[in-house]
Amino acid sequence: MYRIRNLSVIFKSYLLTLSVFTLFRVMLFITENDRVSIRTDTLANIFYSFLMGLRFDVVISGYILLLPALILSVMAIWNKWNDQVYRGVFYWILILFTISFVICAADIPYFNQFFSRFAIGAFAWIDSPYFVMSMIIEEPKYYLILVPLVYLVVVFYKLLHRIFFAKKETSVIKSVWIRVMISVVMIAMMLVGIRGRIERKSPIRIGSAYFCQNPFLNQLGLNPVFTLMRSYLDEQDKRNRKIHFMPADRAIEIVQDQLNIDQKNFNSPIAREVIPDSIYQKPPNVVLVIMEGMSAAKMSRHGNPYHLTPFLDSLANHSYYFENIYTAGKHTFNGIFGTLFSFPALYQQHPLKKIKRYNGLGSTLYELGYSTIYFTTHDGQFDNIEGFLRANDFERIVSQKDFPSKEVKTTLGVPDDFLFEFAIPELDALSQKDQPFFAAIMTASDHGPYYIPDYFTPRCSEIKLQIVEYADWALQKFVRLASQKEWFNNTIFVFVADHGVPLTAAYDISLDYFHTPLIFYAPGLINQPTVFDCIGGQIDIFPTLMGLLHLPYINNSPGVDLIQSNRPFIFINDDDKIGILDGQNLLILNNKKCDALYHYRNSDTTNYANKYPELVNEMATYARANLQVFQSMLNNHQTRVDTKLSK
């Protein structure tokens, strides 16, 4: 019988390591089995969680086994085996997997304590190793983990040694090309396993493990070596560096004064309860559409000469329309996060990459009895959005995997109008339940690569203008289809951009990139269309919407109800710069050069910073205090508070 030794050794090593990883997952499941109820968590979900675990285990095993596979493949192709190299490969696998198994063992008590998989934060204890060792020695339950760890490592060593050194008759395939082909196929399959997914937009992420409403089963599928390495890489990324403008206590004092917070009912410094004067007998549904790249500058009412958005312009005349609203940042993930969770962007930090829980729109409405669903045109794993939203009480994520493959036209998935068409029956089904629904819809067509369906005929000749026409037409189609449904008259539609585009740039920060339309459209509920000229941001959508819904909630964010309150300034994030605006002035804080103050309403490019130092200080302090408070809340795990209103 002919066989290639490298293929045999690597394949058996895979099976062995995956088996040990699975045993540790079983141990974790046993220690946390009270978090799973067979009545609510089906056996299929439990099975899927373990199946997801295999995917993450394959990733870690692949990273460790890739170099041995390459070395053994080279030896197999040339049919020249070196015993010292071969033994070195054995010890490479033994040592790295032993370290991995130690991490898996440490992960179990860590998860039992923190309900989170092992991460770099666990090493904060290393400042006092004597204390840590004493704590471990004095706690008997840790021996329940240590004994199986030692046993599994010993068994792993013996079985791995047998795989590598058992004496067997070995024949060699004579054709070097066949040996090359088999080795290439093996390495290619390993690389696919390391990536974890075959979808183009994103490799496997922590959020990939989140698939159901049980937070334990969502985390059970993770591999702690993966979460440890991912947290280390995220911490090393300069984009995720923590900000420090001022002491946290001082920032909290400033923001509490801004928000008129004097109650101390919650562990968060800015959480406050909001109780409306009246409550709807039948709470309205909510459909929130986050429009890709829909800068206010694309609308005729804001001066665009090409008449690209006739529907949005018309809708603004029949709604609550907010003229001066700005996005939290310049990226889609900033827009999604700012809109759904009411927090600002912190320079280049990516808030969706680290899964945390918030008192955002999804969780608040879910706990008030709403069904929750999120629609996106493309891969739900991109930007870690699916896992992040599932962890924050979105019951279902509709993404590219749910659409017919023939309708997927580009990397960004399906066109906007197909997304809306697909969403209508989903919303119909939710409306049949004895509860209201909240649907968030993220469009994508107004972002390259552009795709315009054949059945749409644009007026303009330039593709970047045509795609705006199409996006506006798709929105109109959605509202027309929705208007034919029974649930339409008891629904509040919200339209906002994720970010804009820099059509003009009079300053270091292009305001067109941040200026967004904000429309609350509810023909069955809003009787008097109104234009609001107040300054505000995406972070204000959540509290403003909750005010329109007349529902009690806890606002654990810097956002305010723009109908009931006025904010003096709004702050925006341009990755390496911060912009602060009031009704007339734009202050740009730039670490690389002096601050600049402009009268942006008339496009004045004169820097007035030296002329109005008190205003500069007031605006800068306002923004820096708010950003510092958010950083402090992240550091101290205060982004989520108990939602039971105080009595």
Q: What is the pLDDT of residue 133?
A: 53
Q: What is the pLDDT of residue 592?
A: 59
Radius of gyration of the chain (CA): 28
**pLDDT higher than threshold 90 for residue 43:** no
Q: What is the pLDDT of residue 114?
A: 56
Confidence class for position 326, pLDDT limits 50, 70, 90: very high
Percent over 90 (pLDDT), the chain: 69
Q: What is the pLDDT of residue 212?
A: 84
The closest alpha carbon to 322, from 503, 479, 537, belongs to 537
**pLDDT higher than threshold 50 for residue 613:** yes
Q: What is the pLDDT of residue 141?
A: 61
**pLDDT higher than threshold 70 for residue 224:** yes
> 449 or 393: which carries more pLDDT confidence?
393
Alpha-carbon span 230 to 222, nearest angstrom: 11
Q: What is the pLDDT of residue 63?
A: 96
**pLDDT higher than threshold 50 for residue 128:** no
**pLDDT higher than threshold 50 for residue 131:** no
Q: Which domains does the chain have, with CATH numbers?
A: 5-236 (no CATH), 286-568 (3.40.720.10)
Burial of 565 (0-12, 13-18, 19+ CB in 10 A): middle
Confidence class for position 76, pLDDT limits 50, 70, 90: confident
When mean pLDDT is compared over 191-205, 390-404, 499-513, the highest value belongs to 390-404
Q: How far is CA 281 from the centre of its chain?
A: 34
User: Does this model's pTM top 0.95?
Assistant: no
User: Going by DSSP bridges, is the β-strand pair 491-497/285-291 parallel, antiparallel, or unpaired?
Assistant: parallel
**pLDDT higher than threshold 60 for residue 130:** no
Confidence class for position 118, pLDDT limits 50, 70, 90: confident
Q: What is the pLDDT of residue 25?
A: 95
Cβ contacts of 474 within 8 Å, gap of 6 or more: 415, 416, 417, 419, 420, 443, 445
> 217 or 121: which carries more pLDDT confidence?
217
Confidence class for position 55, pLDDT limits 50, 70, 90: very high
Instruction: Give the model confidence (pLDDT) of 169-195 as tens digits.
Output: 555 666 778 878 888 999 999 999 999
User: Phi and psi for 438 in degrees, rounded to 5?
Assistant: -125, 120
Instruction: Give the model confidence (pLDDT) of 302-321 as tens digits.
Output: 999 999 999 999 999 999 99
Q: Locate tokens 């992960």: which residue?
A: 107
How much is the mean pLDDT over the chain?
90
User: Mean pLDDT, to the nearest integer, of 607-620?
Assistant: 96
Q: What is the pLDDT of residue 127?
A: 44
Cα 506–Cα 321–Cα 364 angle in degrees, nearest 5: 105
Instruction: Give the model confidence (pLDDT) of 443-489 as tens digits.
Output: 999 998 899 999 999 999 999 999 999 999 999 999 999 999 999 99
The closest alpha carbon to 156, from 59, 61, 53, 283, belongs to 61
Burial of 357 (0-12, 13-18, 19+ CB in 10 A): middle
Q: What is the pLDDT of residue 491?
A: 98
Q: What is the pLDDT of residue 129?
A: 53
Q: How far is CA 625 from the centre of its chain?
A: 25
Beta strand extents in 228-271 (DSSP E only): none
Percent over 70 (pLDDT), the chain: 92
User: Mean pLDDT, to the nearest integer, of 136-159?
Assistant: 80
Instruction: Give the model confidence (pLDDT) of 78-95 as tens digits.
Output: 877 788 999 999 999 999
Instruction: Give the model confidence (pLDDT) of 554-606 as tens digits.
Output: 999 999 999 999 999 999 998 878 999 999 999 999 875 678 999 999 999 89
**pLDDT higher than threshold 50 for residue 537:** yes
Q: What is the pLDDT of residue 90?
A: 95
Angstrom distances, CA of residue 523 to CA of 85, 181, 317, 490:
75, 65, 12, 9
Q: What is the pLDDT of residue 136?
A: 52
User: Mean pLDDT, to the nearest integer, of 516-537?
Assistant: 96
Instruction: Give the model confidence (pLDDT) of 190-212 as tens digits.
Output: 999 999 888 777 789 888 888 88
Confidence class for position 122, pLDDT limits 50, 70, 90: low
Instruction: Give the model confidence (pLDDT) of 346-371 as tens digits.
Output: 988 889 988 899 999 999 999 999 99
Q: What is the pLDDT of residue 646?
A: 43
Q: What is the pLDDT of residue 647?
A: 35
Confidence class for position 132, pLDDT limits 50, 70, 90: very low
Cα four-point dihedral sign 554, 557, 561, 566: positive
**pLDDT higher than threshold 70 for residue 526:** yes
> 152 or 4: which carries more pLDDT confidence?
152
Alpha-carbon span 106 to 95, nearest angstrom: 17
**pLDDT higher than threshold 70 for residue 261:** yes
> Residue 572 corresponds to which tokens in the numbers above?
């925006």
Q: What is the pLDDT of residue 239?
A: 66
